Structure 1
Amino acid sequence: MSPTLSQRATRLQAVVIGMSAGGLEALSQMLRDMPEDFGLPLIVVQHVPENHPSQIVEIFQRLCSLQVDEARDKDRPKPGHLYFAPPGYHLQVEMDRTFSLSVDPRVHYARPSIDVLFDSAADVWGDQLAGILLTGANSDGAEGLHSIARYGGLTVVQEPTEALADTMPRSALKLFQPDYVLPLAGIRQLLLRMDR
């Protein structure tokens, strides 16, 4: 008998999150007061301008109790950490479960690209991965989330009517039916269920 969605949510190894326009506010709502000993790594791609220093790490260090870091080449993601892709670099997960950064061509006009992270993480973690796609103004992330679904991972899309920019969640919904379509409060509750 195949596991229920609730059972799948409790046997995960990592969570990848993609977002663009409106994403920082959405993520801050999801992660505020998240337990500092949260049992999974959270790995995020937010579309950011390539040639400007990002303040995302500093912002989220103040907003949540997780350890917040910019992902670095060869780092191994750890539970209780929130990682952001650095501006101007694609973030991938290698088969040895370490990060790698690249300056390969943009995907959907973006570097970092959500699809690049999601595809590589799906290859590594398979059905022990959760992918969450939030607000955004282009279609980056839809194909990557579909890849996670094909590997048996748990897939979550923000309710488009709640999103500041609904193109990204709607693009995913046109492509396939994810496991969950939830408002931010629902995604937060699901994350807490993933904690082991």
Structure 2
Amino acid sequence: MSKYRVNSKYKAVLVGGSAGSFQGVTRILSSVPKDFSLPIIMCLHRLKHVRHGFEEALSIKSAKPVTEPHDKESIKKGGVYLAPSNYHMAVELGNTFSLSTEGAINNSRPAIDVTLDTASYAYREKVVGILLSGANKDGAMGMKKIKDRGGLTIVQDPQECMIDTMPTAAMSLTAIDYVLGIDQIIEFLLELDQQYR
């Protein structure tokens, strides 16, 4: 019997994070199997003037290739996607990405709220949102949108975070489904993946 509410309705896993999230992200990416069924769409705060290196650093740790999508690129089953430096990354109806250079939101571009909000609109109740360690409130409103539209919300346990502002902000804004450590998040994703076998 699963301890988590997992089923085969989900279409994508979203991951947001900022300061202190890199280690958690790499542990997650190294733990999901190469044939993990769902796309993993990541929006992580990063230095806007450093175009290269972050994607490569994640790919080295990941069991699956990590790519930065192009504008209008289709979202493929099992793909791992990273919001490009200095671009907002939205998920559009029709299962494609949209990139923009509109102004920073929460002092961030890419903004986690943009990715979570648009994905929750596109996928409705068929999305899982995961918010990790971070130093500002970006992602809190996006998690509320996921919850309001029937999706599943997970935040990293604030006690485990290097900086707990981001998950704490989300918890103060909406009723988060699960507050989990990284090991538990991995356990959840592995259980979720079994629903698609």
Q: TM-score when scaled to structure 2?
A: 0.93
In structure 2, the residue matched to 1:162 is 160
- 1:47 and 1:54 map into 2 onto residues whose CA distance is 14
In structure 1, the residue matched to 2:71 is 73
Cα drift, residue 47 of structure 1:
0.5
Contact 1:37-1:79 at 8 Å conserved across structures: no
- 2:13 and 2:112 map into 1 onto residues whose CA distance is 13
Contact 1:142-1:172 at 8 Å conserved across structures: yes
Unaligned runs of 5+ residues in structure 1 are none
TM superposition outliers: structure 1 runs of 4+ over 4 Å: none
1:6 aligns with 2:5: yes
In structure 1, the residue matched to 2:192 is 194
Contact 1:44-1:84 at 8 Å conserved across structures: yes
State the identity as a percent. 39
SS of 1:139's equivalent? coil
Residue pairs, 1:33-52, within 5 angstroms: 33-52=31-50
Residue pairs, 1:20-31, within 5 angstroms: 20-31=18-29
Cα drift, residue 80 of structure 1:
2.1
- 2:65 and 2:106 map into 1 onto residues whose CA distance is 30
Contact 1:22-1:136 at 8 Å conserved across structures: yes
Residue pairs, 1:125-140, within 5 angstroms: 125-140=123-138
Instruction: Identify the structure with the greater helix proportion.
Output: 1
In the alignment of these two chains, the number of paired residues is 192
Contact 2:31-2:186 at 8 Å conserved across structures: no
Query: Could you report, residue by residue, the CA deviation over 1:120-141 in whole angstroms, capped at 9, with x for unpaired residues?
Result: 0000000000000000000000
Contact 1:11-1:194 at 8 Å conserved across structures: no
Query: Which amino acid is the alignment partner of residue 96 of structure 1?
Result: G
In structure 1, the residue matched to 2:81 is 83
Query: Which amino acid is the alignment partner of residue 60 of structure 1?
Result: L
Q: TM-score when scaled to structure 1?
A: 0.94
Unaligned runs of 5+ residues in structure 2 are none
SS of 2:133's equivalent? coil
